[in-house]
Amino acid sequence: MLEGLANSLQRALAKLKAKGKLTEEDVQEAMREVRLALLAADVNVKVVKDFVERVRARAIGQEVQQSLTPGQQVVKIVYEELTELMGGSQTRLRMAPHPPTVVMMVGLQGSGKTTTTAKLALSFRRHQHRPLMVAADVYRPAAIRQLEVLGRQIDVPVFSLGEGEDPVRIAEAGVAEARRMGADVVLIDTAGRTHVDEALMQELERMQAQVHPDEVLLVVDAMMGQDAVHVAEAFHTRLGVTGVVLTKLDSDTRGGAALTIRAVTGCPIKFVGMGEKIEPLEAFHPDRLASRILGMGDVLSLIERAQQAVDEQTAKEMEQKLRQARFTLDDFRQWLQQAQKLGPLDQLLSMIPGVNKLKGIENLSWDDKRFKRMEAIILSMTPEERANPDVMNASRRRRVANGSGVTVREVNQLLNQFEQMQQMMKRFSGLGRRFGR
Ligand code: GDP
């Protein structure tokens, strides 16, 4: 996947990685190569220019990091900027508060719309939803039949009224049918055209006004490169696309669409199509793709980031305390500070196999405000309480809540999280040890 781009970017950065010291010329030279690599991958010219400028400014102005070489530091910057370019973090589907959730699948003929509709239906079914697919593509010969065959294959019902009907009426009737049969997700396979035209847009707008979709997912073929970006712009202007599915990323595409669509249109890529076979649709993770493009495995990037942020001394001390079971709330506070530097905690944890399943932890996210509140809670405790949270009975919890200006519930939450963290750190102290080195 995106091999050409991956190879040329990695080549451009490999030279930097090998050097102990970087001059401004080294960085400039590498940025020239990065620029060429991106242009060769068919990334939009303006996007390339901004991207390279951002990386260059950060790379030249970088502070000296203890545990990364300057070259590694540049790779890290490129990784972060690539991730950001593709949308930062994963963007999920918007589900209706009152089912059924209505999803309009739109796109040009041949983009993979029907295939993707079936893949998405399968994903829903695997997650204990009850999807209904609606065959409203009345223009492409055999599209309805294709959807029916796919429906049987994945055991998802298909609603259709045949080819002579108005697509808007089919969509409406489909949503009504979903309500009747208790389906909680309706996926409407809308009609495509071979190119963007006025009749298509008007029809889709009419449908949108009738069925009020929660999501308008645009299916685009990554093989189209910059044309895919233009198609996305055209659809987005008229329909307010809520997410893009980039198909055929498995084929020999250069990557321009993947790297450009978000930056140019502002629409997040929510899923990617990775083959003709009907398998659950793959969620799009900008960070994972960036690390794949740069040839660093997920865990590798995790360790690199951790190495950069965690002060070795602190890590060693913490490890000692963990081993001797002396991990206190004061240490937790320090740990929080470190974790903040590493970026979203859930993202970090999700890279460690098994960790993402720890209950409660997945909901932790570190925004500054939240961290300040947690810190305030810990600081409102007496040294004795911090060292031994077991003594925190109800009246102490109330006192701390009052003292730090939060609710008792938040104090309880923090103490629960502390306990989970303690357990988790025990379990993963082996990995923690590697960070410290
Ligand atoms: P539609 O006209 O947009 O409904 O397109 P289809 O769903 O019929 O897909 C058009 C062609 O693209 C078919 O041959 C699909 O098998 C193929 N296709 C769809 N998605 C992918 C994908 O992610 N990867 C590859 N390699 N082929 C795909």
Write out pLDDT tens, residues 14-41.
888 777 777 888 889 999 999 999 999 9
Instruction: Name the band, by pLDDT with cuts 50, 70 and 90, for residue 395.
Output: very high
CA of 276 relative to ligand 1 center, distance in Å: 6
CA of 110 relative to ligand 1 center, distance in Å: 6
CA of 253 relative to ligand 1 center, distance in Å: 14
C-alpha–C-alpha distance, residues 49 and 97, integer Å: 41
Q: Where are the domain boundaries for CATH 3.40.50.300 in the chain? A: 101-285
Q: Which residues are annotated as a binding site for GTP?
A: 107-114, 189-193, 247-250
Q: Which residues are annotated as a binding site?
A: 107-114, 189-193, 247-250
CA of 281 relative to ligand 1 center, distance in Å: 13
CA of 274 relative to ligand 1 center, distance in Å: 10
- The whole-chain average pLDDT of the chain stands at 84
Residue pair 96/185 in contact by the 8 Å Cβ criterion: no
CATH of 101-285 among 3.40.50.300, 3.60.10.10, 1.10.540.10, 3.90.550.10: 3.40.50.300
User: How far, in whole angstroms, is CA 163 from its chain's centroid?
Assistant: 38
Tokens for 33?
């190569």
For 5, the enclosing helix (H) or strand (E) is helix 3-18
The torsion region of residue 98 among left (phi > 0), alpha (psi -120 to 50) and beta comes to beta
Q: Look at residue 313 in the predicted model and tell me its pLDDT.
A: 58
Q: Look at residue 239 in the predicted model and tell me its pLDDT.
A: 95
In Å, the largest CA–CA distance within the chain is 77
Q: Which atom of ligand 1 is nearest to the CA of 108?
A: 3
Q: Where are the domain boundaries for CATH 1.20.120.140 in the chain? A: 3-85
pLDDT tens-digit series, residues 227-251: 999 999 999 999 999 999 999 988 8
User: Which segment of 72-76, 324-328, 351-355, 377-381 scores lowest on mean pLDDT?
Assistant: 351-355
For tokens 């990995």, name the residue. Answer: 431
With respect to CATH, is domain 3-85 assigned 1.20.120.140? yes
Sign of CA dihedral 277, 279, 285, 288: negative
The residue whose CB lies within 8 Å of the most ligand 1 atoms, and thus the one to mutate among 122, 276, 277, 279, is 276
Residue pair 224/257 in contact by the 8 Å Cβ criterion: yes
- For residue 346, give the nearest of 337, 334, 359, 333 by alpha carbon: 359
Nearest CA to ligand 1 atom 27: 276
User: Which segment of 68-72, 175-179, 322-326 scores lowest on mean pLDDT?
Assistant: 322-326
Query: Angle 314-319-320 (CA atoms, 0-180°, nearest 5)?
Result: 100
Nearest CA to ligand 1 atom 28: 276
C-alpha–C-alpha distance, residues 243 and 219, integer Å: 9
Residue pair 314/334 in contact by the 8 Å Cβ criterion: yes
For tokens 């993963």, name the residue. Answer: 428
The residue whose CB lies within 8 Å of the most ligand 1 atoms, and thus the one to mutate among 115, 138, 145, 235, is 115
How many residues are there in the chain?
437
CA of 103 relative to ligand 1 center, distance in Å: 19
The torsion region of residue 266 among left (phi > 0), alpha (psi -120 to 50) and beta comes to left
For tokens 């010329």, name the residue. Answer: 25
With respect to CATH, is domain 299-436 assigned 2.120.10.30? no
Q: Where are the domain boundaries for CATH 1.10.260.30 in the chain? A: 299-436
Please give all residues whose beta carbon lies within 6 A of any atom in ligand 1, as ranges: 107, 109-115, 140, 143, 192, 247-248, 250-251, 273-276
